Amino acid sequence: MLSAVSYQQKLFKNTCMFSSFSSSPAFIAIVSIFAILFLVPVYMAIIRNGHSVSEDLYHMFVYTTCTAFWWKWVTKKRVKQNINI
């Protein structure tokens, strides 16, 4: 019986279109666009509800670093997955 991880790896190995797309610059651009689309309304809400510039920058830093780590994790995971195929 296959474990969930090995089944998922086997499934993604067989889909060549997905694996070739996920390491392409287009995939990284799409992930970047999603990150920007997430941050724009967050920044607008922070600025609208903020009391001072330093408070706004602090909140922006928190959301930007979380988004940057998510972006880095997604892109590294996809590139590493395609190298192992």
Q: What is the pLDDT of residues 8-42, one digit of tens each?
A: 555 555 455 445 555 577 888 888 999 999 999 99
pLDDT at residue number 62: 95
What are the tokens at 2?
A: 């296959």
Residue 84 — pLDDT band, cuts 50, 70, 90? low
Instruction: Give me the helices (H) in 1-85, please.
Output: 4-14, 16-22, 25-49, 53-84
Q: Which tens digits make up the pLDDT trace of 39-77?
A: 999 999 999 999 999 999 999 999 999 999 999 888 887
Q: How confident is the model at residue 23, as a pLDDT?
A: 57
pTM confidence score: 0.62
CA distance 8 to 2: 9
